[in-house]
Each structure stands twice: as C-alpha cells, then as structure tokens.
Amino acid sequence: MSMRVRIASICLAAASLLLNAPAGALEAIADVTPPASWGGFVILQWQVNTDAEKDRALYESVNLHGFHIDRKNDELQAFARSSGWPYYLDHAADKGFLHLGDNIRNPDVAAVTRKREIIVRPNSLADPAVIEKMHSFLRERIGAAKGSPVVGYAFDDEISLGNFCSPAEVDGHPRAVAFYQKELAAGYSSIGQLNAEYGTQFTDFASIKPVSFEAIRGRLTSAGLGALNLSQWCDWRAAMDSLFADVLTELTRFANGIDASVPAGFVGGQAPSAWGGYDYRKLSKAVQWMEAYDIGASNEILRSFWSQRRPHVQTFFSSHDPHKDSWFLWYYLSQGNRGVISWPEDWFKDGQVASTIKDLASTFKEVQGPVSRLIIDGEFQHDPIAIYYSQPSIQVGWALDAACHGGTWANRSSSMDASISTGGLARIAWLKTLQDAGFQPEFIHLDQLLDGGLAKGGYKVLILSRALCLSDGEAAAIRAFAQAGGRVIADDCCAICDGHGRMRPSGALDELFAVKRDLAKGWLNGTDLTEVNGELGGSLSEKNWAIGAPRHVGMAVIERGLAVTALAEGLRLEGTMAVVRSKQGLYLNLSPIGYLLHRSDGAGQAWLDLIGGALKDAGIVPRVSLTFAGAPAPLIEALFWRNAKRTTMCIVKNLDRAAKIDGFGETKGGLGAGATTLGIHAGKPLKGLRNERTGRVLGDGESWEDGFVPWEANVYSFDN
C-alpha cells in the first residue's frame, strides 16, 4: 500500500476520534475569481488627505491609479467608472458592528476591554437585528458599486469580537450563550463526555454557562501543571470564534447575492489569537479576500490556506526611505500578495508629491506591470514541509503567556501580544529558519490533516510548532504519516494537552518521539510558565526571554523533566534531554525563538545546521542555493510560482519585519549599499532561464550569475 493510501485510510478513521468541539463555519464559501479590474498587483490609496479625482495628475505622475471609497461616494464612483481606475469599497457594512471603535471616540470598546468578567457585546453579532442592519448597508453600498471597477467589498476595517486581539470576554448576550451551548452539544457525544472533560456535573447542555479566563487562571502554576485543565474556557473561546466566522460567512453570501462578480471580505486583519475571533482556519473559509497585517505569520498562513483565487493584500505605510519602501513592495509581491492598501497621509500636499514618493515612481510602475501576473496568477510551489496550525494551542499558549501578569491579565493588549506571543514568535522563527535553510514550507490546519492533507500535499516532513494541544484524531493522523515514512519534527511541550486544552497523563505523541516527561520538575527556570515575560518588556529581548533556562545552540531548553525511552538517543543537558532522535521523529526540547534574536548577526548557524541536517536526513534538499559575489547570501529567499508552461522564481531579501497597524514597522537586517553579483545554483538543471525584468536569457544549466539590487527582487522564469 502506498504512503498516500495508507495515510488517507488511517485519517478517515482518525476523523471519527476527533474531539475538538466546537467546529463552526467548516464548509468554505465558494471562490469568486478576482474581477478584470484586479488583473495584476494593485496599489490602492486610502483617501486620507487626498482625493483620487482631484489629485489624479499627481497620482499619474508617479504611476498610481488605484484608490478606495468609504461607504458610498457618488462622485468618486462616477470617477471610477469614467477612468476605469480600480478601487476597493470599505465599510460596506458600516462601522460599529464588526468593529466597535476605540476608547476615545466610542464607549463600546471601553465597555468590553480591561474587564475580567464576561460582558455582553454592544451590537451583539448573535442578534438578528444587528445582522439585518449590516444587510441594509450592504444592499445600498454594494448596489451603488456594482458594475464599476471595484476589486473587493470590505465589510469593515480592523474587525474583532472586542478590540483588535486584546482580551475581551464577549459575548454574554443570551443568543450568543445559546450558540455556545449548541456548539458544545454538537461537539460532544453526550453531557457525560463533556463532564468527564471538564470535571463537572452538568445535567444538560442548556445548563452550561461560559467561564471567563479569570475563573481558571489560578490553575496556571508550575506545581499544578500536570493537572492543568483549561478546556471549559478554550471551548468558550472556540465557540465565539465560530460565531464570528459564521457571521462573516453569512455576510459574504449575502454580498455575493447582490454582486456575485466581486469578492467580499475585510481589511485590517489581526494576528492569529485566542481573542477577537482570529482563528484563521475558520476565517479562511468565511471570506473571499483579506488585507491582514503581517503579524504572527498571517501572510504565509493565508497563502497556505488559500489559492490565488482568494486575494490577500498588505498594508503599506511609507518608511520615507525609498529603498525600504521598494523592498516592501517587491517582497510582498514575491510572496503572492495581490496588492497593497496605502496610507498616503503625507504623500500629496500643496499640489506636489512628496520627494520620497517621487523616488518610487518606477517601482510603482513595474510592480503593477506584467511581471506581477507571473506571480499572482501562479500556484505557489512549496517544499514538502508542512507546519501545523493549531488554534487550541494558540489559546493555551496565550494562557501560559498571561500567567506572568496575574490578576492584571485583562490589560495584556493586542499590541503586546503581537510583539511577544510565544506561539506567534515560534511560528515566525520556524519560517525564518526554514527559509534561511533554503526551503519554503506551507501551513496546514486540522481539517486538512484529517482529510489526508499530508499525503495529498506530498509532504515528507511535518513541523509541530508549539503544538501544545492535539486531539486523539489529530495524533492518529500524525502517527499514520510517520508510519508511512513521513518525518515529524516537534519543538517543546508537544501534544501535552488534548484538543480542548486539558493536560494529558502523557503526551499524545510521546511514543512516536520515544520520550517521557516529569512535569513536576517544571519548565524553563523551574517556576516560570511564561517564555517571554511581558512584565519585563513589550518586545523580544534577552532580558525577557526564557529567563534562567539552559541553552543549546542558542535556543532555550524548556522542559526540565524530559527523558527518553530505550528507543531513542539524544543530547542531555543539565539533567534534561535537549534533542531526542527516534526512528520516526525528532523532538527538540528547544524554543526556536532564540533564532530571531541572533538571525541577523549570524549566531544562529548552529541551529540552522541542526534543522538543515534533519531535513537532509528526510531526503529534502534546497531547490537552489544563492550567493553574493561568491559567498553564501544572507537573509535571502527564493519563491516559486507555477504557471501553465513556465515556473516563476522570485529572489528577494528576507528581512525580519515586525509589522505595525499604524506604521511601516521595524526591520532587522540591512539591505546593503548597492547592487551586487547574485549566484544562482540549482539542485538540478533548469531549462530556458530568463530574467523577466531585464529580458536577459540565461539559458539552460545549473549555475548562473546575474546582477541583483537588494531593495528589489529578481524575477526569473524557466520551463516546467
């Protein structure tokens, strides 16, 4: 029996074991092919301190021809129809429903944030009257835009159950609670099964009330780690994620009923989180396009969960450094984004274009030109490496991160979590590690795993990044993958909880990794549960990361009581195992986050060697290696997009970028002083290599040299 057939058959059985309630919004809505007005990469200007019609000449002088309309604007829509300029329609469902506002202008946010009890959400999304209000706005605004060069309908900006992804224990509305109870009834086979999970004695599902994090945070102690049970709170948060996704699904279908030719979605998307409704497994099924801030690996997650028929775009704030801005545009085009939404607050003033924007005129023209279609219309070619996305693990990870705050957990802001979330940093660290080793992985989620996605995707390696929670069904599917010849690599604390957030007596994959653990010995320094301590700083640093924990290859050793069985070998460090190699897996009792602290200075090479060696053992080698003037090229990546007859290869600098919701963000790693010589060395011969930007034909072969400007991207094509 082939590897693919064996995995598929076992995954079908595993699906019946899945106890990961609640599910919600699992049937994806249909794709809407991007309209003709979105035929290439587009730069869309938010209309702040500018007017596309009045400033048309200024826009055209720097090769800009896209904009946005807020709600409904007869003059700008007439301009769009006459000029053919593309635009997106924002606040199609108005403001105050999917986005509550902010503390200064809207008291609704103050009503739900920094509270420790469950709160009724203003304009509850479980209230049919609220949905009907949004319907009324959609009828009017989509109706007015239909037939124009609109590229997408955005229900609202920076939407959330609460306020961004800050803790907000909503929604206590009776209809929302009833939804939660129905989700529990659908996810558990009986009330007895639920009681066994929670350690409760409910008589029926209708008697269950949601619990706030405040009710369970006292369980987060090193001494109580082995008996930790967060399942009741995790199920509550999962139900609210489902409610949020279900509402977006309903709005998307309603919008399609008015105009079936234009995708519907939202802008200002947040990082994956336990709060706000940001379960990307569910959101990716609910809408047809999204602008998401590149936080917590949202860019790669969307690219993985969606085909290019569902556009994702980035937010672009000028850094006022034309080189950085040019890199930004080329980088996100190379990543498969279909455009950017710009915030041009100071771009056009007194009839002039800002000098730093003038410097980008040629870049604006080229990234929106024919070369973009080679990327955005292609199919992303990932290497046979999957990274697992687990929302229950994100929930439990947030709880562990919040343990350091004690009773002030409700003040842990979305911006802090975006900067120092352990799960988010681990995802990014794995991405940068793999990319620096020459690979492009892809994320997969629960539904894909249980549907035989590892076999269907041709994966050889599965990375379990901070996969604290795995259900019996997920664990069975992963074991099937390993038994069929796949390699499983996990970092610390893998599968110590079930799919609801309840600690297991032993990890669900301990046998696969040939490990055993003594949780009584604690984690890190023996007392802390929080890997990045927000009480000691809101950004990652040596001062607040893995305090007092041993180090191996620059990474922190997490579990103090990890041991091996007779079926494995590994490296022991200060009384615990740091690296364990078994027949089917590699267990790294290490946090990869340390790589982000030292990636730019080269001190992470030992970690890179460890991971690169493990991938080589699994039979995976990079498709290309890259050099600058003959030396290994740092902080650079190659991305591949397959079209009908040719494959496009983008080569671009891969800086660390910490995105922000109100600015360019911070980058680490320099772009260099100027052009250099790029060496491309393929693992196997390529036919007909051509530089699509310069037109230079490099021909057949395995190695070539070409010029490279580090704040741009080289775009090549070759025969499939």
Tens of pLDDT, residue by residue over 528-538, are 999 999 999 99
| Integer angstrom CA distances of residue 304 from 280, 475, 592 | 11, 21, 21
| Band of residue 176 on the pLDDT scale cut at 50, 70, 90 | very high
Residues 284 and 390 in one domain: no
Does residue 165 form part of some domain?
yes
CB 255 within 8 A of CB 153: yes
Cα 185 to Cα 208: distance, rounded to the nearest angstrom: 10
For residues 150 and 250, membership in a common domain is answered with yes
Q: Considering 263, 288, 316, which residue would you say is the last residue of a domain?
A: 316
| The predicted structure's pLDDT at residue 669 | 85
- 437-476: burial string, b at 16+ Cβ within 10 Å, e else: bbbbbbbbbbbbbbbbbbbeeebbbbbbbbbbbbbbbbbb
pLDDT digits (tens, 9 = 90+) for 218-228: 999 999 999 99
Tens-place pLDDT, residues 397-447: 999 999 999 999 999 999 999 999 999 999 999 999 999 999 999 999 999
pLDDT tens profile 179-226: 999 999 999 999 999 999 999 999 999 999 999 999 999 999 999 999
With respect to residue 125, please indicate whether it lies within any of the assigned structural domains: yes
In the chain, the N- to C-terminal Cα span, in Å, equals 30
pLDDT in tens, 266-318: 999 999 999 999 999 999 999 999 999 999 999 999 999 999 999 999 999 99
Q: Is 128 within a domain? A: yes
Of the three residues 260, 286, 316, the one that is the final residue of a domain is: 316
The percentage of the chain sitting over the pLDDT mark of 70, rounded to a whole number, equals 96
Residues, the chain = 720
Q: For residue 460, name the pLDDT band (cuts at 50, 70, 90).
A: very high
Verify that 138 and 196 share a domain, yes or no: yes
What is the distance between the alpha carbons of residues 86 and 63, in angstroms, rounded to a whole number? 13
- Residue 578: how many CA atoms within 13 Å on its side-chain side? 19
Q: Are 357 and 318 in contact (CB under 8 A)?
A: yes
Gap between the Cα atoms of 174 and 124, Å rounded: 10
* pTM score over 0.75: yes
User: Are 333 and 713 contacting, i.e. CB atoms less than 8 angstroms apart?
Assistant: yes
Would the pLDDT of 371 be above 60?
yes
List, for residues 691-719, the tens digit of each pLDDT value.
Answer: 999 999 999 999 999 999 999 999 999 99
**What CATH number should be reported for the domain holding residue 123?**
3.20.20.80
Looking at the structure, do residues 273 and 400 belong to the same domain, yes or no? no
- Would 23 be classed as within a structural domain? no
Q: How many helices (H) and strands (E) does the chain have?
A: 24, 32
Looking at the structure, tell me whether residues 586 and 613 fall in a common domain.
Answer: yes
Find, among 436, 431, 441, the residue nearest to 380 by Cα.
Answer: 441
Instruction: Kindly state whether residue 356 falls inside one of the protein's structural domains.
Output: no
SS3 of residue 163 by DSSP: coil
Q: Return the structure tokens found at 677.
A: 């010589």
Query: Is there a domain that residue 375 lies in?
Result: no
Residue 57 CB contacts under 8 Å (≥ 6 apart), including other chains: none
Do 606 and 655 share a domain, yes or no?
no
Within-domain flag for 373: no
81 located within any domain = yes
At residue 431's C-alpha, the angle toward residues 657 and 689, to 5°, is: 90
Give the domain CATH number at 474: 3.40.50.880
Q: Is the pLDDT of residue 20 over 50?
A: no
Range of the domain at 577: 3-17+381-599+601-617
Closest by Cα among 431, 437, 436, 517 to 466: 431
Structural domain count, the chain? 3
Query: Given 3-state DSSP classes, what are the helix, strand and coil percentages for the chain, each rounded to the nearest 5?
Result: 35, 20, 40
- The proportion of the chain whose per-residue pLDDT surpasses 90, expressed as a percent, equals 91
The continuous run of DSSP H or E covering 137 comes out as helix 128-145
